[in-house]
Amino acid sequence: MESKGRFFLPGLLLILSVLCQSGYSLQCYQCPNTSGKCTTVVNCTATQNACLLARAETRTYYRCWRLENCNFDSLKRDLGEKSLTYNCCQNNLCNGSDGMSKMGSTILLVTPLLAAFWSVFI
């Protein structure tokens, strides 16, 4: 039992270190004025605490944004659009067209592995 514990803790720490990033910075898709799917990923600045997905008549905007400015008047003024639908969110890559971040997908895939390790070694 004692030897199992010696291997479990370093393994768990290794998995957690892979999943966690040091120096957290929100990641968003960023493709201003695009009409297709956006695949460019950027790290937002410290003042940009949300990801924006805004759809106008002919354009779709993907970018980092300030959550405080996520309202119709600010978006209309800053993007220069007369009508649009928009969504601001605060998870990594949450402004993608599929709505699920890579990190969220990774956690969903790794969770059963962590559960299996837990049941075997504890």
Where are the domains positioned within the chain? 24-100
pLDDT tens readout for residues 15-27 = 544 444 445 699 9
What is the model's pTM? 0.61
User: Per-residue b/e over 4-43, b at no fewer than 16 CB within 10 Å?
Assistant: eeeeeeeeeeeeeeeeeeeeeebbbbbbeeeeeebeeebe
pLDDT in tens, 36-72: 789 999 999 999 999 999 999 888 999 999 999 999 9
- CATH architecture of the region 24-100: Ribbon (2.10)
**Distance from the Cα of residue 119 to its chain's centroid:** 30
